[in-house]
Structure formats: structure tokens, C-alpha cells
Amino acid sequence: MNFASLFSGLLLGYSLAVPPGPMNALIAAWSLRSFRHGFAVGAGAMSADFLLMLLTLALYGVLRGLGRQFFAPFHAAGGLFFLYLAYKIGMAKPPREGSAGGGHPLRGYLLGLSLGLINPYQVGWWLTAGLGSIASFGVEWAAGLFLAILTWISAFPAAVRSGWRLNSRLTWLAIKFFSVAVLAVFGVLFIYTAASLVLGEG
């Protein structure tokens, strides 16, 4: 096994999973319901990453020839989805401990999967850093990357749950504010970016 490639995959995996953004905001919000709910959203996002990796390898040459305007629909759809999620989280009431408020964890998984597939950040990451890294480092790199994502989607919901146990109301208010603010900002930013790409200003 090439441990240098594995380590490179770990580092880049954290660069994809850890930065604050819409996906982590959604994982945090769902983690308030239970660890399983938060992990399910993260697992959906990881599944999206796997599908995007396969899609990137198959279609990179075609996508590269279409030009930057190709990404405008991803930005527009992602922006509207983020604003919708911000509204839903903003209107939500505090979850009860052990409740299944918000649906079965499978719903969280599908939400994470769909958000990952239309998130321009994830799509763009795979079409740039992802493709180049796989071409350079091979299979061990991909193993390290998904190991990093798996550890993050396990540790982050657990950290949110720990905060919930210490002070449920304060944690709920902090996560709600963080989630709504991040999703709303990214929603506006992505819609603006889509408009700029269509108008030829991106």
C-alpha cells in the first residue's frame, strides 16, 4: 500500500468535509434530533461524493468542453435549495430528546444525497482537486479520502450531541442560528453566481 497516497487522501478528504458550509449546517441541525439523524445526512453526502467521483472520471472531458456556463444550473438549484432549507430550519421548533421529529433518518440520508449532488462546491471540488488527485495518486488516495469523510460525519454529530447534553436550549439556538445563517448566505451567493455565469460575468 502507498501510505503517502493514503495520507494525501486523508488530508484532502478533510479539506472537502470539514470547512463550514451548507452540508455541515444541515448535519448540525439534524444532529439535534439524534446522532443517527446527523450521521444519516453525512452518509448521504458521502454517497454523493462517491457518485460524483465516478461521474467525474467518466464525464470530465465532456464537461470541460462545455464551458463554465454549464455550472449555472447547479448554482441556481443549489441556491434555491439552500434558501428552502434555511426557511425550514428557521421555522422548526426545538426537538425533544429521543424524538424522531423531522422524519426517519432515511429522509436525512436522501436529503444529504440530493444536496451533495447539486452542491456546486462538491461538484466543482471533484472536477478540479478530485480528478487531478485520483489521476496522480490512485486507489489509495480515494481510500484515504473516504476514510476522512467517514470519521468527520461520525465525530461532528457526536460533538453536537455532546453540546446538546450540556445545555440543550443554548445548543439548539446556536445550531439554529448557524444553520440558517450559513444556508441563507450560500443560497444568495449561489444564485448570484448562477446569474453571473449566465450573463457571462463569472
Question: Domain residues for 153?
Answer: 3-67+103-179
Say if CB 30 and CB 144 are below 8 A apart.
no
User: 155 lies in a domain?
Assistant: yes
In a domain, 97, yes or no: no
The mean per-residue pLDDT over the stretch 108-134 comes to: 80
What does pTM read for this prediction?
A: 0.73
Amino acid (1-letter code) at residue 13: G
Q: Looking at the domain assignment, is residue 186 inside a domain?
A: no
More confident call, 38 vs 73: 38
Q: Count of domains in the chain?
A: 1
Residue 70 has pLDDT above 70, yes or no: no
In a domain, 169, yes or no: yes
Helices 168-198 and 139-166 meet at what angle, rounded to 10?
140
As a whole number of angstroms, the distance between CA 70 and CA 63 comes to 8
* Residue 61 pLDDT > 70: no
pLDDT greater than 60 at residue 197: yes
Q: What is the pLDDT of residues 2-56, one digit of tens each?
A: 777 788 788 877 867 876 678 888 898 899 888 999 999 999 999 999 998 888 7
